[in-house]
Structure 1
Amino acid sequence: MSRIPHIINLLKPVSLFKEVQTLSRRNFIQQTTQALFVGSTLPLLAQCRAKSSQTTPRIAVIGAGLAGLTSAYYLEKVGVIPEIYEASDRVGGRVMSASGLVADGITTELGGEFIDSTHRDILTFCNEFKLTKLDMKGPSEKNLIGIDYFFKGRRISEQEIIREFQHYAPRMQKDVKALPKSMSAKDPKVIELDNKSIDEYLHGIGMSGWLYDILTTSFTSELGIPSGEQSSLNLLVSLNTDTSKGFEIYGDSDERFKVSGGNQKIPSEIRKRLKSDIKTGHHIKRISPNGDGYKLSFENGQESSVDAVIITLPFSVLRDVEITVDLPDRKRRCIKQLGYGMQSKLFIGVNDRLWRGQGYTGYVLSDQIHNGWDSSQMQHNNTGPGGYSLFLGADKGENLEIGQYDKYLEECNKVFPGMKQAANGRKNLYNWNQNPLTRGAYACYKVGQASGIGQAEAQPVGNLFFAGEHCSENFQGFMNGAAETGRKAAEEIIKKFALHTGIQQVTKN
C-alpha cells in the first residue's frame, strides 16, 4: 500500500522529533511513553490471569484484516477467545497477494507491499512464523539506481535535484524548527501549516518548475489525495531537508522487505493459530449501548451482546455504520471526515526485466505514471519474466480502468525503452476505491485535519477500542500500522479488564 507512513495524529501522546533538520515521520508527535510490548509481558499477563477470579469478558473484533487478526492473536495468548466478525469471505483485508497474475511463478501484491527495517510488529510475525523475507536492499541491488525521476519527458538526476532543492531547504528547515516539541491543536504554527495545502506552501516559498512537479506529484501518488488538498504537514514531516546522504523524498523509510510467496502469508499464518471462529459474511450495521456493554447488529440479521469491541474498519467504511453510543464530537468528526487516498495499482507483465540491464531497480517517480516499481524484484534471482506495478493517486487512481493499459505502457516505454516489446500481454488492476469494504487505500490528512481532528483516530471510547493503519502513531498506511495498533488494542483491553491483578506497564525499548 503506502510507500511512506505520512503525518499521523499530530496531537497523539507520543514523542516529537529526534533531530529537527532530519525530522522523522515515525518520531514526529510522540509525547509519552510507548505502550507495553506484549512479547515482553505475556508471561506476566498469563500469571495475572491465573490469579484472577474475574469472569472472562466477551470481546468482539470487527474486521478480520491484519489489525483485527493481530488483536485476536494477542488476546488469545492470555486466554481470551474473542468473537471475530468479517464482512467479506476472506481474511487479510488490504493485505492481498496473487500468484501468476503477471507471470508464471511470480507473486504480486495487490495491497500492502513493503516492510521497513523498523516495522517491529510485522518482522516479529515473520520471525515467529518462520517466513522467508525478500531483501530489496540485497547485494544484487547495490549498483543499481534506487529512485529514478522522470519529468517533462526527461530524466532528472539526484544531483540536479539536490542542487535545486538547496534554494528552498533553509526555509523548510526553519518552518520545521518552528513546530513545537509538544504538539498542541492550539499552537499557531501547527494551525498555520496544517491549514495550508502542499501546493500553497510550495508556492509560498517560491518553488516552481520541475522540482515543484516532483514534490506535488510524488505526494499525490503516495497519499492518494491531490497535493492541493493535503495538509502541508504531510510534506514537511516526510521530506528530509538534510541532503548529505542524498535526496530522501520520503525520509527514513527504507521499504526493505517483502514476504517470499506473498505478504498474505502473514494473516494466513495468524488465522491458522487462532481458536476463534471467524464469522465471515457479517457486515456490521449498528453498534448500540447494552447495559455496561454493547449490542452488535449485522446486516444478515444476526446480533451479539459483548463487553468490549475492537473496531478495525477503516473510517471510510465505519462512517456508514450506525453508532448510537455517545461519542466525543472530535471522535465522531474524525470518523466522518478523515481523508482517504484514492490509489489504484496497474499490473504489467513482462518477459524481461529490462530496466535492470539499463542500470535501474525499476522504481520511478514520474509526472505521467506517478509511481512505478518492479513488483517482481528479488524473485527468481531477478531473471526471466516478471511484473511492473504502477501506483496512481487522486484522479488518476480513482478513475483507473484496464482500458488505459496501452496508454500507461506507452509512458513506461518512454522511461524504460523496450518495455512495450518486453510486455507479455498479462495485465490487471486493483482499485481500492471501488472496494465497498475499504472505499480508499489508506488514511491521509486533508488541509486542516491534523489539528482539527487529529488525536481522535485511536482514542478509545468506554470499552470501544479502535485499530487499523489509520490509528497508528508512526506507521500509518503500512501493514505495520495495522499490526501495531491491533496489538495495542489487545493490550488496552488486557489492562482494563485485569487492573486489579497488578499488571505493570513495561516500556518497549
Structure 2
Amino acid sequence: MSIGPRSRSLRQLRRLIRIARDADAAGVSSQEAVERTREVERAALSRRQFLGGAAAASALALTARKGFAAPKPATLDVGIVGAGLAGLQCAYALSVKGYTASLYDASNRVGGRQFSLRGTFPGQAVERGGELIDNLHKTMLGWVNTLGLTREDVNKPPGDVFYYFNNQLVPEATVVDEYRAFVAAMRPDLRASSGSPTADAFNAGDQTLDRMTLADYLTSRGAGTYARKAIEESYIAEYGRELSEQSALNFLLFIHADRRSKFTPFGVFSDERFHVVEGNDRIATGIAALLPRQPEFEMRLERVRKTSAGRIELTFRHGNQSIVKTHDKVVLALPFTVLRGVTLDASLGLPAWKTLAIDTLGYGDNAKMMVGFNGPVWAELGSTGQSYSDLVNHQTTWETSPTTATTAHAVLTDYSGGVRGKNLNPAQVQTEANRFLTDLDKVYAGAKARATKNGNAYVAHLEHWPSNPLTRGSYTCYLPGQFTTVAGNEGKPVGNLFFAGEHANSFYDWQGFMEGALLSGIDAAAQVLAP
C-alpha cells in the first residue's frame, strides 16, 4: 500500500507524525526528537549529493503492469478522450503492442494538469499543476530518463518549517508535543479500521469513520490547538477541501499506513523529491512525440452512446462543428468533474455504482500562486520556505525550484485549497498577490518588501484549477462516505468503455499523483487488450 503525500504540506505532516512516534519510542523530549531528525536529514542530503540522487528508473517500467501481457486482437479501433498523462500513456502502451489509437483533447495542447510555466520567472520553469515526483514514482522517473530530461532534487539543506498560528510563530516541538498527546485517542480507531476499505470491501468500523467528517473527528477525539491547526492546514492544502467536506479516513488511513510501515528511528520518509528542470510537461510532449498518430485538439466531448452494432459513438464539438467518431473501444481519460457535463446515453448500460462514482466523486479546490522574490528571504530567516498558518490569505508555502534559484531570484509557491482556494480570482492576480504578501510578512518578516516587481506590478502567476472548464477541480478528494461507496469503482470498465486518469488509480496506489495518471493509462491499455 502506497499512501503518500501529494504536496509538501502533507509530507511535512508525515514528518511531524514520525518525529512524535520516534520520540515516544526513544523516551526523549519532542525538542530532542526534532533535533535528532534534523541531523539525519542533513546526513541524508549529503549522501544524495554524493551519489547524485536516486538510481535511474528503467524504461521497461513504462508499460509494465500486471496483466499487460494479454493476447493481441487481430484488429482493434480504439479512441481515447483526453490527452493528459493518462491518455498519452494509454496510447503509447497500445502503440508498443502494435495498435494506433485515435486521441482527442478539448484543449490545444497535451498534458492536462501537467502544465509548466516558462518565461515569467528568470531562469526557472515552474509548475501550474502537477509538481513533485517521488522517488517511488518509477514510471515518471522512467520517462525522465527515457526522454533525456534533467531531474533536480528539490530538497535543500534543512532549515526550519515555520508555523504561524494564533498570531504567533509556534515551535515545531510544540506541535509534536500536542500530536503525541493525540495519538492515544486515535489508537482505537486505527484498530477498528480494516486499513484499506473500498466500496467492495469494508467493515463496520470503516463505514462509521468514513461517514464522519475530519472536522468532527478532530473535535470528538480532542486534538490539541496546534496539532489540529497543523492537521487542518495540511489537509485543506493536500486534498483541497475544508475538513467539514473530507472523510475522517483521509486522515486515519494516512496514519494507518505510517503505523504499519517499517522505519528507522529518526529517519526520513521518501526524502527524495524531484522536479524536471526543463518543466514537468516535457514528459507529456515527449510521450506525444513518440505516438504513431498525433492527438486531435479542440475536440470537446458532448455525448457518448453505444450503437446497435455495439461500438462506441463519440460526439464532439469542434468550433461550430459537431463531429462524430465511432470506435470498437473507447477510453475516457477525463476528470469525472468534466464527464458530468457529457451526455452518457442509456445505451451504454452504466451500472449504478459507476454513475455514482462519476456523479459524486469529490475533487479539490486547489489553486497555486507563484510569486517572485529578490532572493530567498525565508532562508535568511532560517526557513526552508515551507510554512503553515491560519491566516486568511496564507495557508501553506514552499520554495519553487530551489536548485535553480539564486541570491537575486527566487520563487515561492502559495498553495491553497478549500474556501480560499476556490475563491481566489485569477482575473485579479495583483490583488490576490498583495493580500498574500501582506499575510506572508507576518510569517517571514520583511518578505513583502523583497517581492519582485515589474514596474508597480508584482511578478506573480495564479493558476486556478477549480474554474478551469477542462478540469473543474484539482484532483481526487474523498468526501464523507466515499471510501465505502465509491473507492475502487472509478477505474472499473463497463463493457467496451474504459476509464483512466489519476482518479482511476487506487487510493492505495498513487491516486492524485502524476504517477497515478500514468499507471491508470497502462491499466486501461491492458483492459482494452484483454479478451
How do residues 182-197 of structure 1 correspond to structure 2 at under 5 angstroms? 183=197, 185=201, 187-197=203-213
Equivalent residue, structure 2, for 1:472? 505
Equivalent residue, structure 2, for 1:305? 326
1:375 to 392, 397, 400: 400
Give the AA of the match of 2:132: F
Give the AA of the match of 1:173: R
How do residues 328-339 of structure 1 correspond to structure 2 at under 5 angstroms? 328-339=351-362
CA contact (8 A) 1:5 1:476 kept: no
For 1:223-281, what per-residue CA distance to the aligned partner results, in whole angstroms no more than 9, with x for missing partners? Answer: 11111110000011224469985699xxx554600001210110011111111131101
CA contact (8 A) 1:5 1:477 kept: no
1:366 to 366, 385, 389: 389
Equivalent residue, structure 2, for 1:67? 86
How do residues 438-449 of structure 1 correspond to structure 2 at under 5 angstroms? 438-449=471-482
Using the alignment, how far apart are the partners of 2:340 and 2:201 within structure 1?
23
Seen in structure 2, the aligned counterparts of structure 1 residues 411 and 280 have a Cα distance that, compared at 3 Å, is same
Give the AA of the match of 1:375: T
User: Is 1:340 the counterpart of 2:363 in the alignment?
Assistant: yes
CA contact (8 A) 1:152 1:210 kept: no
User: Is 1:95 the counterpart of 2:99 in the alignment?
Assistant: no
Seen in structure 2, the aligned counterparts of structure 1 residues 182 and 341 have a Cα distance that, compared at 3 Å, is closer
Deviation at 1:287, TM superposition (A): 0.8
Give the AA of the match of 1:257: F
Using the alignment, how far apart are the partners of 1:490 and 1:128 within structure 2?
20
1:109 to 127, 144, 148: 127
1:263 to 273, 280, 301: 280
Equivalent residue, structure 1, for 2:289? 272
CA contact (8 A) 1:185 1:191 kept: no
CA contact (8 A) 1:158 1:246 kept: no
Deviation at 1:358, TM superposition (A): 2.2
Using the alignment, how far apart are the partners of 1:469 and 1:208 within structure 2?
34
CA contact (8 A) 2:153 2:272 kept: no
Equivalent residue, structure 2, for 1:436? 469
User: Is 1:319 the counterpart of 2:347 in the alignment?
Assistant: no
User: Is 1:84 the counterpart of 2:100 in the alignment?
Assistant: no
**SS in structure 1 opposite 2:122?**
coil
Q: Cα RMSD (Å) of the superposition?
A: 2.6
Deviation at 1:365, TM superposition (A): 1.8
Using the alignment, how far apart are the partners of 1:182 and 1:153 within structure 2?
39
Equivalent residue, structure 1, for 2:191? 177
CA contact (8 A) 2:210 2:481 kept: yes
Seen in structure 2, the aligned counterparts of structure 1 residues 4 and 310 have a Cα distance that, compared at 3 Å, is farther
Deviation at 1:142, TM superposition (A): 2.9
**SS in structure 1 opposite 2:402?**
coil
Seen in structure 2, the aligned counterparts of structure 1 residues 475 and 5 have a Cα distance that, compared at 3 Å, is farther
Seen in structure 2, the aligned counterparts of structure 1 residues 254 and 487 have a Cα distance that, compared at 3 Å, is farther
Equivalent residue, structure 2, for 1:463? 496
User: Is 1:142 the counterpart of 2:142 in the alignment?
Assistant: no
CA contact (8 A) 1:350 1:387 kept: yes
For 1:348-384, what per-residue CA distance to the aligned partner results, in whole angstroms no more than 9, with x for missing partners? Answer: 111111212222221112212111111131114x433
Seen in structure 2, the aligned counterparts of structure 1 residues 452 and 478 have a Cα distance that, compared at 3 Å, is same
CA contact (8 A) 2:9 2:237 kept: no
**SS in structure 2 opposite 1:118?**
coil
**SS in structure 2 opposite 1:451?**
coil
Give the AA of the match of 1:94: R
Give the AA of the match of 1:78: K
CA contact (8 A) 1:349 1:423 kept: yes
Give the AA of the match of 1:284: L
CA contact (8 A) 2:502 2:510 kept: yes
For 1:426-457, what per-residue CA distance to the aligned partner results, in whole angstroms no more than 9, with x for missing partners? Answer: 12201101110000011101111111222210
Deviation at 1:2, TM superposition (A): 3.8
Using the alignment, how far apart are the partners of 1:65 and 1:429 within structure 2?
21
Seen in structure 2, the aligned counterparts of structure 1 residues 55 and 143 have a Cα distance that, compared at 3 Å, is closer
Equivalent residue, structure 2, for 1:294? 312
Using the alignment, how far apart are the partners of 2:415 and 2:436 within structure 1?
11
Give the AA of the match of 1:411: D
Deviates more, 1:345-354 or 1:382-391: 382-391
Deviation at 1:217, TM superposition (A): 2.1
Give the AA of the match of 1:212: R
User: Is 1:399 the counterpart of 2:429 in the alignment?
Assistant: no
Using the alignment, how far apart are the partners of 1:214 and 1:303 within structure 2?
51
Deviation at 1:112, TM superposition (A): 0.3
Using the alignment, how far apart are the partners of 2:125 and 2:488 within structure 1?
37
Deviates more, 1:469-478 or 1:225-234: 469-478
Seen in structure 2, the aligned counterparts of structure 1 residues 451 and 64 have a Cα distance that, compared at 3 Å, is same
CA contact (8 A) 1:38 1:491 kept: no
Give the AA of the match of 1:166: R
Using the alignment, how far apart are the partners of 2:495 and 2:109 within structure 1?
30
Using the alignment, how far apart are the partners of 1:493 and 1:347 within structure 2?
40
Using the alignment, how far apart are the partners of 2:106 and 2:163 within structure 1?
40
Matched positions, count: 454
CA contact (8 A) 1:4 1:478 kept: no
CA contact (8 A) 2:179 2:224 kept: no
Give the AA of the match of 1:442: Y
Using the alignment, how far apart are the partners of 2:438 and 2:333 within structure 1?
40
Q: Percent identity?
A: 32
Q: Indicate the structure with greater helix content.
A: 2
Seen in structure 2, the aligned counterparts of structure 1 residues 55 and 247 have a Cα distance that, compared at 3 Å, is closer
CA contact (8 A) 2:362 2:479 kept: yes
1:3 to 4, 7, 12: 7
User: Is 1:484 the counterpart of 2:519 in the alignment?
Assistant: yes
Give the AA of the match of 1:419: A
Equivalent residue, structure 1, for 2:449? 421
1:217 to 233, 236, 243: 233
CA contact (8 A) 2:176 2:227 kept: no
Give the AA of the match of 1:371: T
Seen in structure 2, the aligned counterparts of structure 1 residues 182 and 268 have a Cα distance that, compared at 3 Å, is closer
Using the alignment, how far apart are the partners of 1:204 and 1:415 within structure 2?
30
Gaps of 5+ in 2: 11-20, 23-59, 454-458
User: Is 1:153 the counterpart of 2:167 in the alignment?
Assistant: yes
**SS in structure 1 opposite 2:413?**
strand
Seen in structure 2, the aligned counterparts of structure 1 residues 397 and 246 have a Cα distance that, compared at 3 Å, is farther
CA contact (8 A) 2:9 2:234 kept: no
CA contact (8 A) 1:224 1:394 kept: yes
For 1:109-137, what per-residue CA distance to the aligned partner results, in whole angstroms no more than 9, with x for missing partners? Answer: 00000011111111111111121111023
CA contact (8 A) 2:335 2:471 kept: yes
**SS in structure 2 opposite 1:75?**
helix
Seen in structure 2, the aligned counterparts of structure 1 residues 189 and 41 have a Cα distance that, compared at 3 Å, is closer
Equivalent residue, structure 2, for 1:450? 483
Using the alignment, how far apart are the partners of 2:265 and 2:188 within structure 1?
20
Deviation at 1:392, TM superposition (A): 0.9
